[in-house]
Chain A
Amino acid sequence: MATQVEALTSATGLISLLDENERELQFYGLSQLNAVADRFWAEISDAISRIEILYEDESFPHRELAALLASKIYFYLGEFDDALNFALGAGKLFDLDDTSAYVQTVVNHAIDTYIARRSADNSQDIDSRLEAIVERMFERCFELNEFLQVIGIAIETRRLDVLERALTSGDTNSLLAYVQNECVDLISSITVQEQVQELLFKVHMQFDSPNYEAVCLCLSKLNNPQKTAEILSMLVQDQDKLLSAYQIAFDLNANATQEFTKAVVSEFSTNNDEASTEESSPVDRIKSILSGDETLKLHLEFLFRNNKTDMNILNQTCKLLDSRLSLAHNATTFANAFMHAGTTVDNFLRDNLEWLSRASSWSKFTATAALGVIHHGQIKHGFNLLQPYLPEDKTSVSPFSEGGAFFALGLIHACHGSESVISYLQDALISYQGQNADILQHGACLGLGTAGMGSGSEDTANSLMNVLFADSAVSGEAAALGLGLIMMGSNHESTLTAMLDYAKETKHEKIIRALSVGMGLIMFGRKQQADTLVARLLDQEDPLLRLGAVHMITMAYCGTGDNNAIRKLLHLAVSDVKDDVRRAAVTGLGFILLRSPEQVPRMVELLSESFNPHVRVGAALALGIACAGTGSKAAIAILEPMLKDPVDFVVEGASIALAFILIQRNETYEPKVTEVRKRFASIIENKSGEGVAKFGAAVSQGIIDAGGRNVTIGLTTNDGQLNAPACVGMLLFTQFWYWFPLAHFLALSFQPTALIAVNKDLKAPNLEVTCNSRKALYAYPPNIEQPVAQAPTKVATAVLSTTAKARRAGKKMAGAEEPEAKKEEKSESEDTRMDVDESPLSADSKSGAQKKGRKQGTDTFMVNNGTRLLPFQERFMKWPSGARYVPVKQSRISGVLVVRDTTPDEPEDLIESVLPDDPVEEEQDSAEEGALQPPEPFEYPFDNDN
């Protein structure tokens, strides 16, 4: 028969059989056609109606064959819906075990259809034949042990029964982790997400000794503080599990919302009332960890100790930018704030008092608020630090710096607003009257929002609402943003309605715009729940409300990679008539895809070449946000040409995006870094250049060296969870387009990159972790040379700060010197150890290691506790075997780790805190510490405004 089939050049003869009257002839024709369908489908497709008639003819005994043939033809025609329908009609003739493209495609389509039907509300009326096909696919996967596939389909089809079966039949622990880390956040319906979390919780609890870290993560997602507190109390009682309780508390603090951790703390206190008699009991420690105090302290310590800011860059920029222009003044302020974010180092301000005094009105506001960024996390001393700028006795003398101080107070306490801070700021909202009250209120609203972020406090919201309804453009704008921050991610209905109604009522563009951002924040992470409101906002004629819709999509689907959201944003990006909406829509893509940064360059490549500069700058920011910290080469390739864009604000956007992407990279790792840094410098230097481009370049210099070169942009936490404050901070940062002071919100996105291990007393012991890679890849970039006055072109020349002689010596002695240097470092006390780091000796070993690495290809080196550990370095990290300290949690090395001491009786070698306990009071004591002397209390040399 095969020879005949090959001989056939046309199927018309066979097709003509279908028109015969005899059943046998028709059947013969069908079976012959079925055999040759893959070759002659084009011809047969002309007779498709005839085949369908045969299928619909109830009296025809071979209807199923007709259905199979019709299905094949529709498959070849690309009509998969029809192909599936007829395949269902073909019954048993449709062979699932076939591996042909036809069967595969139809089965895939069947699953897709099933998913679509299951996600629709009327899931009752699903074709039972369709369900049968999917069931059979599940069975096959189970037979082949392809559990990941089953899990994926089960979640998409919302078949929790199948999901549970898959979880219990495979390696449950790793599957649970897979679902928690990779799958749950991609579910676009909140209810299903909760169902899955509950299922995970259930499966976890089936173990004899559950993995409590994962369980608590589940509970935090389910927002169940009672159970979490119960588990923690239970663990605290057990001496063996105390350390893992600490670890859980650290993780919860990093991953869960402020509202949740507060609830856990209060539940936990009621559970453990009697235990809290002695000082620093485990219960108190847990509370302190949960409230974030411990993490902040550790991070502060790390950032202060390792601060590697290159002051030359900053001084150079400051010199070149004309500080009489407020734009340029702001640029320097931001560069300084970002470079020193969280380090508490304010030397630059001290050294440039004259520059500072040139700040006027809002740049004074920004400059004061910058203190908040620099001292971010110093919650103990927040008030003390800002005392000189806060208004005394409720009488305002200099509203701009006082307003800025309110904002700074919020930034210092970001996400950790204590009662006193919140009530102080709340008080500030109503205490001040007079013509400048709105400036103070502006600062207070922003501060209140930042400190109380995500707390959902109705009381705070009400006082902000009152400010909003006063209808002052300046204070109303901040109040709207504050509302959004307080109610972040809450989907709080009455607040949303009030905001939307007011947005339609007010005449102030600033307020509407801020409301549109605020409403987006309230919908953070709410996915499909935001859809109705988004649709309503999209229908509005006012472009600012459509902008709100864009922000809402961005925030609601942040980090989900949801296809619908992407489609909506892409549509808006090319079809909306308002440039602002377009720009925000393109930028939003970056937020939505921030977990799959490799997709973004491809998606925005065309947009980055748009004729419309707003779309271009949006594309740049999207790349920057999604690829932040990844060093993605594809993204750099798109962004680099944009630095030469004829439109100034595109250059600004591209600079910032490049800074995001290249943050913490050195020249050895990514050679482009030097070029980009040089480019920033030359943009600033260019005398005839545009102000906005210079602003962008200066801010970018701040970002690329942010936090003393020790922080990255962390939109996800170390455990891979979405970091809500960071995402929100990033969105607010992009609003600097309209209002410069909002750029400070970027500080919320900074995440210290450190190896921090603590023992049972929450103190950091001296320990080391091996890194199986070349040290040079992760070294700090060298400082730029102090420029010679006459030759500013030399600025960017980068050379190691070691002499040629030392280098030669290093080459010879590298092998022998290195371990010795290490030993020395260890044996010496902390203060001298810090000195050793700066001495030529350690620089020698560094350059030696670099040279050795190039020869051998690989190398290993040790990373000390409390020093920098880059995110892209983490996969090379290995906990040394047989070390004294063993981490409680094995899955990661970054973030705060609790370690178990294997020889608890030996005395511990702890890293002493170098951070002054109170910078104001302990002035005299610290003078003895020499090099690490804390800064003098410092005041901005501001005159009074009026």
Chain B
Amino acid sequence: MSARTINKLYEQTYAALNSQNPNLEAIGKQVSQLKVGVVKLAIQNSEIEADSSFQLLKRGVAELGAQLSIKIGDIAAFERYLAQLEPYYFGNRMGLSDSDVMYPLIGLNLLRMLSDNLIADFHTMIERIDLEQLQNNPFIVHPVKLEQALMEGSYKKVWQARSDVPTPEYLFFMDILMSTIRNEVASCVEKSYTSLPFSDAKSVLFFSNMDELLKFAQDHQWIVSPAEKRITFKSDAEDTHLFQGENIMKQTLSYAQELERIV
């Protein structure tokens, strides 16, 4: 495949992805064709790496891949593409100008980290973004605010943020985030209450209807009594820490031995 056909294919795929009803399967095939094509070009001619139009193409292909993977919900692939895009988005950006989809993709990546509970990675990433963009760019501001809300524990705000996403693609991660939060809350609730009435449980866990709540309760193996309209949590008080005499003895003896060896 020559550079020209690759460029052509890229244009086509780009158009197809941004159309109203994209055929995701076909686009997926085209994207992998593109990737292989680009790499083959690089292997054939290592000089080409220095060419900015080639780098532009490489970036474009990776961006296409990233967008596609969000659409089909392939988080691992999304992560990979973002990793490949890293040299284009940070540092000297390979001498290229900013891409249109750069901040939406970074924002999505931030959101992915939040939903995966990768707080450290999230902050590392934040540090690498320009201050100006960090404060003003809506794609970035959204996940940053979300994170603040999460840290404060105001899950309500998170819940509300779901309604004002900058692009619909964010919803994909927001749903994952919500279930992450829900699980977090559930694990706290289990410890703090012995039982809860249905209504309270529903609001605490951000459920809009009873069916979802009941299913969630079932997944967590909570005891549901429809008569009392309460959920009872299992208590596991028996895991007291046993006194581990043998370990302590071993440790003390080894200290003694080491002391004896001090020269």
Contact = CB atoms under 8 A, between A and B. Distances in A.
Interface of A: 1, 3-4, 7-10, 12-13, 15-17, 19-22, 24-25, 27-28, 31, 573-575, 577, 606-607, 609-612, 615
A15 B83 contact: yes
Contact of B261 (A13, A17, A24, A575): A575
Interface string B244-257: 00000000000000
B91 A22 contact: no
A12 B83 contact: yes
Contacts of A615: 263
Contacts of B260: 575, 577
Interface of chain B, helix or strand or loop or mixed? helix
Contact of A25 (B36, B83, B86, B91): B36
Interface of B: 32, 35-36, 39-40, 42-43, 46-47, 49-50, 76, 79-81, 83-87, 90-92, 94, 260-263
Nearest to B55: A4
A3 B87 contact: no
Nearest to B65: A20
A606 B263 CA distance: 7
12 contacts: A4-B49, A7-B87, A7-B94, A9-B87, A13-B86, A13-B87, A16-B81, A19-B80, A22-B36, A25-B39, A573-B263, A615-B263
Contact of A24 (B36, B83, B84, B92): B36
Given A7-B91, A577-B260, A615-B263, 4 more contacts: A10-B87, A13-B86, A21-B32, A575-B261
A606 B262 CA distance: 10
A22 B43 contact: no
A28 B76 contact: no
A15 B263 CA distance: 48
**Residue of B42, B79, B84 most packed against chain A (CB within 10 A):** B84
A19 B46 contact: no
A613 to B, nearest CB: 12
Contacts of B92: 7
**Residue of A16, A573, A609, A611 most packed against chain B (CB within 10 A):** A16
Nearest to B35: A25
A16 B83 contact: yes
A28 B83 contact: no
Contacts of A10: 86-87
Nearest to A574: B261
Nearest to A23: B36
**Residue of A12, A15, A575, A606 most packed against chain B (CB within 10 A):** A12
Nearest to A18: B80
Contacts of A577: 260
B87 A1 contact: no
A606 B80 CA distance: 54
B79 A16 contact: yes
A934 B103 CA distance: 109
Nearest to A19: B80
Contacts of A610: 263
A610 B39 CA distance: 65
Nearest to A608: B263
A1 B40 contact: no
A22 B90 CA distance: 27
B50 A1 contact: yes
B35 A574 contact: no
B50 A3 contact: yes
Contacts of A611: 262-263
A3 B81 CA distance: 22
Contacts of B32: 21-22
Contacts of B85: 13
B39 A28 contact: yes
Contacts of B46: 1
Contacts of A24: 36, 39-40, 43
Contacts of B40: 24
Contacts of B90: 9
A272 B36 CA distance: 91
A15 B32 CA distance: 17
A814 B47 CA distance: 83
A573 B261 CA distance: 9
A3 B92 CA distance: 11
Contacts of A609: 263
A888 B32 CA distance: 85
B225 to A, nearest CB: 48
A17 B36 contact: no
Contacts of A25: 35-36, 39
B32 to A, nearest CB: 6
Contacts of A16: 79-81, 83-84
A25 B41 CA distance: 12
A9 B92 CA distance: 10
